[in-house]
């Protein structure tokens, strides 16, 4: 994309009302604009990040056998009355009346609807297990929306739901989802640690939050450094084998990890002193086993192997897709701006033309841009070099290809890595090799 023709409005000033760094940087880098309280429009660069994240989430859901559907944003109140949650849900649920005075609501989550869709179609134990997910906008009417997309009202969430014949099946589905989540966060370029969360009246150990480490995070976290001392995901897991899944789950949850709310001094004392890590973190995912809570209350059964009706066991699995945009920035930025992991960056690189109008500069820049026009931003503006360098650092493109008139004549490019700050003079051929490696 040519910056001179694009809708990528950066801001020089720091917006006064943005309290946290990701919110400030998302506004300054032109990723989003607020359209009403807690509701945002995604501009081209922001939408690219959002879609990159959603696509990685999707691929890893598919890889463990989940199937994508798309449920609507508006739901009938009737459905929520069947589960008993319509009256129980507080003022965060946005309740709506249509022109016929029928009660609708903007879905804050989809347990009821997916359970109803499942029940309409799945009739036999032979069709189990089923894992269904969607990536759809939700609404929670927060009393005080803040922190930009981190605590917005309209937000994009991936929510998955599993249906199994029995408890052992539900446990295997839960393990599969934990695998998908850890792979997802690894590909997103962030460290996300599963931490035991409240299970409420159901009990057991099948509720985990995934916390991204970020110095500005909302919660304090305590964890065993052994978790990050090894690439646990490089060990093969057979998702069709419950034993293999169970072993994986055992490994990943054998290390101490807790938010300050659940911190246990006695257990912490058992972690070798050299491996004790303290920090702060942001919740970006939550997986939860809840058994027959919805299938039972909504009267959903399938016929079992003996012909008798069986009430399926469920779990639900959420990832905050729009929240992740902010969370990744909290985890990966510096004084100058965003430092995007390559997998989610809106553009993998930027070509900075230091002298538009100079024939050699223009020619080399066009060639570099033309090598990957979908993944490259071309700063062809007539602005000063300083403005371009600042915008490139602010927007956080992983690679900067700086072309000046002297270098252009001799076919040399200054290649800067945003993450390390390292700059090197490279030949045009080396620059093209860097670009070719993106595909």
68 contributes a contact to a second copy by CB under 8 A? yes
| Dist CA 23 CA 330 (whole Å) | 9
Candidates 31-39, 206-214, 238-246, 342-350; binding stretch for a second copy (CB under 8 A): 31-39
Comparison of 51 and 183: residue with beta carbon closer to a second copy: 51
Site string for a second copy, 113-142 (x = CB under 8 A): x--xx--xxx-------x-x----x-x-x-
CB 391 within 8 A of CB 352: no
Contact flag: residue 1 with a second copy (CB under 8 A):
yes
Nearer to a second copy, 154 or 393 (CB): 154
CA distance 136 to 71: 7
- Measured at the CA of 322, the angle between CA 231 and CA 20, to 5 degrees, comes to 90
For residue 64, with 0-12 CB atoms within 10 Å meaning exposed, 13-18 middle and 19 or more buried, which class applies?
Answer: buried
Dist. CA 311–CA 303, nearest whole Å: 9
Cα-atom radius of gyration of the chain, to the nearest Å? Answer: 24
Q: Tell me which of 63, 104, 239, 387 binds a second copy, using CB under 8 A.
A: 104
Span 78-97, contacts to a second copy by CB under 8 A: 78-79, 91-92, 94, 96
Smallest separation (angstroms) from a second copy to the CB of 132: 6
420: preceding bond cis by omega (within 30 degrees): no
Rounded CA gap, 249 and 255, in Å?
11
Q: How far apart are CA 108 and CA 166, in angstroms?
A: 28
* Residue of 14, 17, 98, 421 interacting with a second copy (CB under 8 A): 98
Q: How far is CA 431 from the centre of its chain?
A: 31
Nearer to a second copy, 303 or 427 (CB): 303
- Please report how close the Cβ of residue 344 comes to a second copy at its closest, in angstroms: 16
Q: Does 33 bind a second copy (CB under 8 A)?
A: yes
Scanning residues 34 to 63, which ones bind a second copy (CB under 8 A)? Answer: 35-37, 39-44, 47, 50
Q: How far is the CB of 343 from a second copy (least distance, A)?
A: 20
User: Does residue 295 interact with a second copy by CB under 8 A?
Assistant: no
Question: In whole angstroms, what is the distance from residue 94 CA to residue 289 CA?
Answer: 26
Q: Based on the shown chain and the rule CB under 8 A, indicate whether residue 257 belongs to the binding site for a second copy.
A: no
* Separation CA 202–CA 423 (nearest Å): 55
Considering the complex, what minimum distance in angstroms separates the CB of residue 430 from a second copy?
30
**What would the two tokens of residue 224 be?**
């065993």
Shortest distance, CB of residue 285 to a second copy, whole angstroms? 22
Question: Could you tell me the smallest distance in angstroms from the CB atom of residue 193 to a second copy?
Answer: 30
Instruction: Identify the bridge partners of residue 78 per DSSP, sorted by sequence position.
Output: none
For the CB of residue 221, give the shortest distance to a second copy in the complex, in Å.
32
**CA–CA distance from 426 to each of 289, 298, 408, 414, 439 (Å)?**
53, 65, 11, 6, 20
Shortest Cβ 92–a second copy spacing (Å): 8
Pair of tokens at residue 300: 């959903």
Taking the least distance from each CB to a second copy, the nearer of 32 and 392 is 32
> How many other C-beta atoms are found inside a 10 Å radius of the C-beta of residue 26?
28
* DSSP-based three-state secondary structure for 142: coil
Helix pair 21-28, 321-331: axis angle to 10 deg: 100
Out of 88, 143, 240, 437, name the contact with a second copy by CB under 8 A: 143
Q: What's the min distance (Å) between Cβ of 110 and a second copy?
A: 9
Nearest CB to a second copy, comparing residues 259 and 322: 322
Measured from the CB atom, the residue of 41 and 269 that comes closer to a second copy is 41
Of the candidates 49, 61, 80, 106, which one interacts with a second copy according to CB under 8 A?
A: 106
- Does 75 bind a second copy (CB under 8 A)? Our answer is yes
Please give the C-alpha separations between residue 257 and each of 172, 223, 271, in angstroms, as whole numbers.
22, 4, 10
154 binds a second copy (CB under 8 A): yes
150 vs 155: CA distance, rounded Å: 9
Residue 15 interacts with a second copy (CB under 8 A)?
A: no
* Residue 179, C-beta contacts closer than 8 angstroms, at least 6 positions apart: 64, 237, 239, 245, 248
Residue-wise DSSP of 75-119: EEHHHHHHHTHHHHS-TTSEEEE-TT--EEEE-S--HHHHHHHHH
- Interacting residue with a second copy among 102, 384, 423, 424 (CB under 8 A): 102
**Which residue of 70, 88, 240, 437 would you call a contact of a second copy, by CB under 8 A?**
70
Does 69 engage in binding with a second copy (CB under 8 A)?
yes
- The least distance separating a second copy from the CB of residue 397, rounded to whole angstroms, comes to 17
- By CB under 8 A, name the binding residues for a second copy: 1, 5-7, 9, 30, 33, 35-37, 39-44, 47, 50, 65, 67-76, 78-79, 91-92, 94, 96, 98-99, 102, 104, 106, 113, 116-117, 120-122, 130, 132, 137, 139, 141, 143, 153-154
């Amino acid at each position: 994309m040519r910056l001179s023709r694009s809708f990528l409005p950066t801001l020089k000033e720091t917006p006064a009302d943005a309290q946290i760094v990701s919110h400030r940087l998302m506004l300054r880098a032109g990723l989003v604009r607020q359209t009403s309280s807690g509701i945002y429009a995604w501009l081209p660069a922001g939408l690219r990040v959002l879609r990159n994240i959603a696509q990685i989430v999707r691929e890893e859901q598919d890889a463990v056998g989940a199937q994508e559907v798309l449920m609507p944003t508006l739901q009938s109140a009737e459905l929520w009355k069947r589960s008993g949650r319509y009256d129980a849900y507080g003022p965060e649920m946005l309740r709506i009346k249509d022109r016929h005075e029928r009660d609708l609501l903007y879905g804050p989550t989809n347990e009821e609807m997916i359970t109803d869709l499942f029940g309409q179609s799945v009739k036999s134990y032979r069709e189990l297990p089923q894992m269904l997910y969607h990536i759809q906008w939700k609404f929670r009417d927060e009393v005080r929306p803040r922190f930009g997309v981190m605590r917005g009202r309209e937000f994009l969430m991936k929510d998955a739901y599993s249906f199994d014949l029995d408890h052992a099946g539900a446990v295997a589905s839960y393990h599969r989802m934990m695998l998908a989540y850890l792979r997802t966060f690894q590909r997103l370029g962030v460290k996300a640690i599963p931490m035991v969360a409240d299970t409420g009246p159901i009990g057991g150990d099948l509720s985990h939050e995934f916390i991204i480490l970020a110095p500005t995070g909302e919660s304090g976290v305590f964890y065993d450094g052994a978790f990050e001392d090894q690439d646990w995901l490089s060990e093969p897991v057979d998702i069709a084998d419950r034993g293999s899944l169970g072993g994986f789950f055992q490994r990943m949850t054998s290390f101490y990890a807790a938010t300050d709310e659940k911190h246990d001094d006695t257990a912490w004392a058992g972690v070798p002193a050299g491996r004790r890590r303290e920090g702060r973190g942001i919740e970006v995912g939550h997986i939860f086993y809840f058994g027959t809570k919805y299938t039972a209350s909504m009267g959903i059964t399938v016929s079992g192997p003996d012909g008798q009706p069986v009430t399926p066991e469920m779990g639900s699995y959420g990832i905050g897709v729009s929240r992740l945009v902010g969370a990744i920035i909290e985890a990966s930025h510096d004084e100058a701006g965003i430092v995007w992991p390559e997998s989610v960056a809106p553009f993998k690189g930027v070509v900075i033309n230091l002298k538009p109008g100079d024939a050699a500069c223009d020619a080399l820049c066009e060639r570099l841009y033309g090598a990957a026009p979908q993944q490259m931003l071309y700063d062809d503006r007539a602005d000063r070099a300083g403005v371009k360098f600042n915008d490139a650092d602010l927007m956080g493109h992983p690679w900067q290809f700086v072309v000046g008139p002297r270098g252009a004549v001799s076919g040399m490019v200054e290649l800067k890595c945003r993450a390390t700050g390292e700059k090197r003079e490279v030949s045009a051929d080396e620059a093209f090799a860097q670009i070719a490696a993106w595909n």
